[in-house]
Structure 1
Amino acid sequence: MLPKPKHLLFLLFSGLVFIGLESVTAQETPITIKGEVVEQGSGLPIAFATVMIGDNETKKPITGATTGDDGTFSIETTANNFYVEIGFLGFQSKTFGQPTTRTAIMDLGKVILEEDAEQLEEVVVAGEISRTEFKLDKRVFNVGKDLSSTGASALEVLNNVPSVNVNIEGQVSLRGSQGVQMLINGKPSILASEEGNALGTLTADMIERVEVITNPSAKYDAEGTSGIINIVLKKEERKGLNGSISVNTGTPAGHSVGVSLNRRTEKFNLFSQLGVGVRDLPTDIENTNLNLIDNTSVVSTGTEYRNETYYNLVLGTDYHINDLNVLTLSGNFAMEIEDQPSTTDFASFEGADQISQWQRTEVTEAKNPKFQYELQYKKNFDEDDDEHTLLFSGLGNFFGKDQSSEFFNNTISGEDNDATQQTRTDFKESVFTFKLDYTNPLTDKITLETGAQYVLNDVSNDYELNNLENGVYVNDSTLTNIFDYKQNVLGVYSTGSYEGKKWGVKGGLRLEHTNLSTYLATTGQANNQDFVNLFPSAHASYKFTDMISIQAGYSKRIYRPRMWDLNPFFNPRNNFFIRQGNPDLQPEFTDSYEITSIYILGKASLNFGVYHRYTTEVIERVSTFEDNVTTVRPENIGTNNSTGLEFNAKYSPAKWLTLNGDFNYSSFSRDGIFNAQEFDFSGDQWTSKLMTKVKLPADFDLEMTGNYQSSYRTVQSKIADILFLDMGIRKNIMKGKAVLNLSVRDLFTSRINESVLTQIANNQVTNEVFNRRQRGRFVALGFSYGFGKGEAMQYSGQRRR
């Protein structure tokens, strides 16, 4: 429903302070108009409401003002034929005529404004559904009031973004590739790292949008062979006091409370967020190691628990030095306290005969503190041009893990497997990022960008394993070490772009110097790498009509091995399936090409694209098998050619129904050799999502999201397909100020990750490893309430936008 004409006029001038627009009548003496604006019912003052004095004949504004924090106003005019209109977005405006007898003061007293249901409905609809926008070199997924975000973590939000998938272990892939660079607010961050459950401390209520950059320009860090995913967090900038609170509960345990507050004055914008919660993440596991040479096997089944208590605090301020200069200081602290009481049952077989049986119990406790702090300075060179800017930022991140574990083997039958182990992990990572970006729009169509970035990464992992022997813990020196990892990357870039009404083009070049070193203290093994690389990028777009456009892009990317890719030590949760790192691992390089077309056809919007990626020094997980123990570690194996097509669509055939679809298909060809074994093969894979949103009577909304991921091959494994459904229902209450949500993830408990790993020697299959993991159904109930004086907002488990 459209606002009434007078509301459109009022909204046009809302929030502006009118200066110098008085219609002066020399014959009249000035008159001062004053009063206080409050909400109906609560009687609370409304800050920054607009007071407009208009001409009775032309209906045009003469002058105006906004109310203060206490809702009061005072305005002076010399007009002799005027009216006064007072209003605020989301409220019904009120109009007063001038007094019949002119006096020096016109006191309107308390002006009570009532909420305008029609305006509120329009605001609700604007941010109701997550939607995707297309830019010259990226796609922007704006996080709306999707039910799938109820009480969700950032990983669950990502799983609803087109082209992005998140598996049961939290690994993020883009177009089927896991070589993704994760950023927070455009910068590397501990919160986006793979250590611990870092992204789990970011909840949906903190996220404003997700930017998917499949072919990044040279302005961006070259890290990530399949592209960049940038999570942009909310930071309110509305004047007055704004806030929100959300409460969630669920089963398995998923209880949290979140509070957001924002205070905006003329000079300062103060923002804060606080989240506290507990969650249980049980995972059912089955694993079989089958030796086909001697027909022996080891079978393990059990449940791994990851119980967490977490805290997240964000504090920050923007200081508007003047209209051209802004200084921002912000900090984030997060803490996870983990408890992992897991039990696994083991059995060994010779053929079909069980030889022995034992149970392995794990007791693990860990504390994972995370700190992030940033100082940012932004300068605008022209009040009339927001694009001519200089931006400097210094960002510091710290992540730590203080973990201790005990493992107890208790023999049930057969040979003696009794054993007790202790492990200790002291992990520390510090990352410092310094960025300088300069943007200069030389004309309305031509823009130049240049800048530099320096990233320093310092990691230390102190790991120790002890075995209980004759009542005394004895250190296992072969599994005890200190692993140090340092990586410094200096990058400089320059880009130029032209964007006209019909077509645009953008080109750039980035140079990066990488210095990487690893050191194993006990063995004295050191590995140093130093290399310089050029990373070009090119983008073009052409608009045939307002409804049809096409984009093309190219970029060169790099994937540098992470600390856990390089660290050779492991957690002995399952002694028969071990994952290790490889200190000699080399980086991957990818050349990426794509063409994307966009169509807007009435009630439907379509996006169709094709892409090709050529990757060298491909990193693959390769397994070896000995004494029924499978050891998996990453290796550089040959090249990969991948070609794919992608289709996204949104269709609203009726006001009460919206459909969103996402389909991605790719075929690939692998060429490689490792330890005299060839790994040449080809294959394909595809993924699809379909979200259906239905508006029901009584202001209920129903949402269902179906996901399918096809089976696919890796160098040694076949991954089974997955089909699962999420759904939820939402009810707006309290005139849209509050929302109740009920969501169910994996409704039919069909999200099961299964794989079969096959090892071959001398052209003969020597063993197979079957692995099955399942999280199960999650149910969440949430309540959210938003409040504020800045302007009418809508809130659903996230800060109002």
Structure 2
Amino acid sequence: MNFHQFKNALFFFALTSFTVVNAQQKTIEIKGKVIETETKQTIEYATISIIDNVTKKPITGTITNEAGLFSIDVTSGNFYIEVSFLGFISKTFKDFKVEKNKIDLKTISLSEDLEALGEVLVRAQKSQTEFKLDKRVFNVGSDLSATGAGALEVLNNVPSVNVSIEGEVSLRGNSGVQILINGKPSVLASADGNALGTITADMIEKIEVITNPSAKYDAAGTSGIINIVIKKSEKKGLNGSVSLNVGVPNSNSFGLSLNRRTEKFNLFSQLGFGLRTYPGETESINEDFEEETTVQSFGDSEFDEKFSNFLLGTDYHINDRNVITLTGSYAYEVEDQSSQQDFTSIDGTNSVTDAWLRDEKTEATNPKLSYELQYKKDFKRHEDQSLLFSALGSSFRKDQSSYFENTTSIGSKSDAEQITRTDYKLADYTFKLDYVHPFLEKYTIETGSQYVINEVSNDFAVSDLDDDVWVSNPNLTNIFNFDQNVLGVYTTASYEGEKWGVKLGVRMEDTQIETLLETTNENHSKNYTDLFPSAHTSYKVNDDFSIQAGYSRRINRPNLRSLNPFSNIRNTFSISTGNPDLEPEYTNSYEITSIHKIGKASLNFSLYNRYTTDVIESVIVSFEEGVSTSRPENIGTSNTTGLEFNGKYNPLNWFSLSGEFNINFFDRNGIFESESFNFKGNRWSSSLTSKFKLPLDFDLEVSGDYQSEFESLQGRIYDNLYADLGLRKKILKGKVILNMSIRDVFASRVNQSETIQPDYYLYNSRKRGRFVTFGVSYGFGKGEAMEFSGQRRR
């Protein structure tokens, strides 16, 4: 055999061998579906491993898709199949049938491995808080992200932040906190519902708490900012919750929240409707020392509100670095209010001279519309380099009519009837551009601009019944227009090292305000430009102790209610008006904060000082024939120095304690109409919340609040003490939650104030009483049920 024949034979032998081997290794398709044993929900990202029977090593593998389905091809004929998922007991398949080169495992049920899950949580990275220049950052570790909890439960683990069992978020005891998503306003964080419940713990990277905002944020005063940062690698799937609530007095609502995530789209929607009732009890005393007369009133009121809202939005991920967000929402409210006030006039001998009943019936409709467009671009150069543009618009309208009737029972006063009509229109537009540019590893420059347009019109008319004819009252009828445009431009620069950092910034805001009282053709124009500097620094002493200091200049612009000179005639003996000449107040805010970690406790101490000029105060400007008239005025300066403490302590797995204490000392200086308003005083407040994890998956929450009495410009504000109680029961591993809450358990929350002057004395009191609410909520997808989803909050 020559070489040529040998080469042909070798080629033939190799070709034949390959054909035989290939014929023996036929391709087999393996498919199936993976679900949870108890809930029957599909499991996404479950691992399918094809393992060699001899070597016990993996041959190939795949994962399940969004629907829990998988399909994989294998050519080996000697293997077994293993199906596994973190926190679940794995299943192995060694006996299976091959039919037409296919293995169909059908539906595979996996049960939770509670012991393994517990080990994972124990070993997991713990969530922790650290200072970052102008904010505190709570990094969400796997101890929380692996629990399947929702955003509100994660927030409840953040120091200084408290979430009540009803889902109300407060920062350092103040519920007026602004919540942002990835640094921008979002309907997911709206207070009108609980779309925030569609965000689950495993989607959250960190939560930023800002108590003294830098120049990057609006200069208008705020009680604080909470920014929820979502991970860029969001898990795909369907999340949602549905809730039903009933209460006494009426606190009835139904809510549905849905969030669907795919590779390109994040779709979110919310539907809610309900009925709320707010009862009220009022008392007032107007005592005239010169005339020796007193007018007393006692009243009961009931405010009913029917509401509905719908929200729809989407995030479209153009690619890994570009995303567009479109959102729209619509709400419609119907209000009915009725009240009865008994008035009594008493002379100097303590004899009743007059008595009458003032009856009110008010109806109103409030349509609301909001919409937003946002575009965010991330850059390949640096993970923190970004460009964000947003355009937001909203409109609100109130069509209201009221009927008042005075019926005399004692004295010679004639019966009287009045009607009022209000046509209120509001439109807001906000355009914002932000750019973040990191460089040289530890340096960052942020710059941006914002333009806000506010357009408000209030058409208010009053008519009196005279000989069965309604006659317009020109002294109380007017159309007031308010237009405000604010242009803001800012720049900040920061250095952030491992131990120490500093951030400096300045914001320029140009404000234009136009007001017009059409009835008398009175118009006022204001235009002012201000600079708002800010400076922040932080130093990390060690892992358990850090300190932060900050300064910012703030502004409080008067709103339409403060500027509109119309009268409130609900109580004709206590009239309030606006002041179109009102100027904004300015505040220089200084703050030093420390954070301590001592074992299972997290403690924060803050020392602050706020110096405010042109302080806006409500002042009694006249008192004639028992009628007091008040309006806001700019009264001098206020210098406030305070100490705040808040902390959380988790001594046991089933018990946690959080509390706040705030005390401040103020020094007021001012002169109004030749009268000195110089005085000093102090006020303090505290709150304490205890949370218990009881057997059978019950959660109990007990909280108490106290606000001290303090001196005001012309009198004093009474103290206030009240308590809230909440009970929650989880079933089906947190997928269903039952709630019961009691607000103001002892009906002790009463707002009382008095004005003490040489010529007169005024007392006012208002009480709402106890609220009891029951609710059930069901959550589906990756998160647990969220409390009170879809409920409108006040």
Across the aligned residues of Structure 1 and Structure 2, the Cα RMSD in angstroms comes to 3.5
- 1:64: how far off? 4.7
SS at match of 1:535: strand
- 1:302 maps to 299
Report if the CA contact (8 A) 2:245-2:774 is conserved: yes
**Which of the numbers 764, 772, 776 marks the counterpart of 2:769?**
776
CA distance in 2, matches of 1:694, 1:783: 20
Code of the residue aligned with 1:304 in structure 2: it is S
Report if the CA contact (8 A) 2:737-2:787 is conserved: yes
Report if the CA contact (8 A) 1:219-1:495 is conserved: yes
1:627-673 deviation per Cα after TM superposition (whole angstroms, max 9, x unaligned): 21111111001111110011011112222211101111110101101
- 1:255: how far off? 0.5
- 1:364 maps to 362
**Which of the numbers 442, 450, 472 marks the counterpart of 1:475?**
472
Report if the CA contact (8 A) 2:255-2:270 is conserved: yes
Could you say if the C-alpha distance between residues 548 and 559 of structure 1 is closer, same or farther in structure 2, counting changes exceeding 3 Å? same
Larger Rg, first or second structure (1 or 2): 2
Could you say if the C-alpha distance between residues 784 and 631 of structure 1 is closer, same or farther in structure 2, counting changes exceeding 3 Å? same
Matched, 1:560 2:571: no
CA distance in 1, matches of 2:659, 2:536: 26
Code of the residue aligned with 1:777 in structure 2: it is R
- 1:732 maps to 730
CA distance in 1, matches of 2:57, 2:421: 74
- 1:86: how far off? 3.2
Moved more, 81-90 or 599-608: 81-90
- 1:626: how far off? 1.6
- 1:723 maps to 721
- 1:88: how far off? 4.7
- 1:309: how far off? 0.6
Alignment of 1:145-294 (within 5 A): 149-151=164-166, 157-158=168-169, 160-164=170-174, 172=176, 213-224=210-221, 227-229=223-225, 238-294=235-291
- 2:513 maps to 516
**Which of the numbers 654, 657, 680 marks the counterpart of 1:656?**
654
Could you say if the C-alpha distance between residues 123 and 436 of structure 1 is closer, same or farther in structure 2, counting changes exceeding 3 Å? farther
CA distance in 2, matches of 1:191, 1:583: 36
CA distance in 2, matches of 1:244, 1:751: 33
- 1:691 maps to 689
CA distance in 2, matches of 1:187, 1:598: 26
CA distance in 1, matches of 2:361, 2:519: 27
Report if the CA contact (8 A) 1:578-1:630 is conserved: yes
CA distance in 2, matches of 1:125, 1:297: 69
SS at match of 1:479: coil
- 1:528: how far off? 0.5
Moved more, 134-143 or 549-558: 134-143
**Which of the numbers 312, 316, 329 marks the counterpart of 1:319?**
316
CA distance in 1, matches of 2:51, 2:289: 89
Report if the CA contact (8 A) 2:181-2:230 is conserved: no
- 2:495 maps to 498
Could you say if the C-alpha distance between residues 140 and 341 of structure 1 is closer, same or farther in structure 2, counting changes exceeding 3 Å? farther
CA distance in 1, matches of 2:128, 2:408: 56
- 1:38: how far off? 2.8
- 1:43: how far off? 4.9
Report if the CA contact (8 A) 2:46-2:64 is conserved: yes
- 1:740: how far off? 1.0
- 1:189: how far off? 9.5
- 1:615 maps to 612
Code of the residue aligned with 1:766 in structure 2: it is D
CA distance in 2, matches of 1:347, 1:64: 85
SS at match of 1:387: coil
CA distance in 2, matches of 1:558, 1:324: 36
Moved more, 443-452 or 93-102: 93-102
- 1:319: how far off? 0.8
- 1:144 maps to 153
CA distance in 2, matches of 1:681, 1:628: 27
CA distance in 1, matches of 2:706, 2:729: 28
CA distance in 2, matches of 1:206, 1:451: 30
- 2:144 maps to none
Could you say if the C-alpha distance between residues 55 and 483 of structure 1 is closer, same or farther in structure 2, counting changes exceeding 3 Å? farther
Could you say if the C-alpha distance between residues 85 and 579 of structure 1 is closer, same or farther in structure 2, counting changes exceeding 3 Å? farther
Could you say if the C-alpha distance between residues 189 and 390 of structure 1 is closer, same or farther in structure 2, counting changes exceeding 3 Å? closer
Report if the CA contact (8 A) 1:219-1:508 is conserved: yes
CA distance in 2, matches of 1:205, 1:684: 39
- 1:16 maps to none
1:522-566 deviation per Cα after TM superposition (whole angstroms, max 9, x unaligned): 111111011111111111111111111001101011111111111
SS at match of 2:385: strand
- 2:16 maps to none
Code of the residue aligned with 2:768 in structure 1: it is R
CA distance in 2, matches of 1:357, 1:489: 50
CA distance in 2, matches of 1:290, 1:55: 95
**Which of the numbers 736, 746, 764 marks the counterpart of 2:744?**
746
Report if the CA contact (8 A) 1:455-1:489 is conserved: yes
**Which of the numbers 667, 674, 683 marks the counterpart of 1:676?**
674
Report if the CA contact (8 A) 2:53-2:78 is conserved: yes
- 1:53: how far off? 5.5
CA distance in 1, matches of 2:465, 2:187: 36
Could you say if the C-alpha distance between residues 656 and 204 of structure 1 is closer, same or farther in structure 2, counting changes exceeding 3 Å? same
Code of the residue aligned with 1:736 in structure 2: it is G
Code of the residue aligned with 2:505 in structure 1: it is G
CA distance in 1, matches of 2:78, 2:533: 65
1:575-626 deviation per Cα after TM superposition (whole angstroms, max 9, x unaligned): 1111211111001111110000000000111000100011111101101312
SS at match of 2:271: strand
Report if the CA contact (8 A) 1:406-1:423 is conserved: yes
The runs of 5 or more residues in structure 2 that have no matched partner are 1-21, 139-150, 157-161
SS at match of 1:702: strand
1:400-420 deviation per Cα after TM superposition (whole angstroms, max 9, x unaligned): 111000001111111214111
**Which of the numbers 346, 363, 374 marks the counterpart of 2:372?**
374
CA distance in 1, matches of 2:542, 2:56: 38
Code of the residue aligned with 2:760 in structure 1: it is N
SS at match of 1:565: helix
- 2:627 maps to 629
- 2:397 maps to 400
CA distance in 2, matches of 1:215, 1:462: 38
**Which of the numbers 55, 62, 67 marks the counterpart of 2:64?**
67
- 1:743: how far off? 1.1
Report if the CA contact (8 A) 1:565-1:581 is conserved: yes
SS at match of 2:134: coil
- 1:353: how far off? 1.1
SS at match of 1:564: helix
Report if the CA contact (8 A) 1:249-1:255 is conserved: yes
CA distance in 2, matches of 1:103, 1:203: 49
CA distance in 1, matches of 2:786, 2:442: 38
**Which of the numbers 754, 765, 780 marks the counterpart of 1:756?**
754
- 1:190: how far off? 11
Report if the CA contact (8 A) 1:207-1:233 is conserved: no
Moved more, 436-445 or 338-347: 436-445
Code of the residue aligned with 1:301 in structure 2: it is F
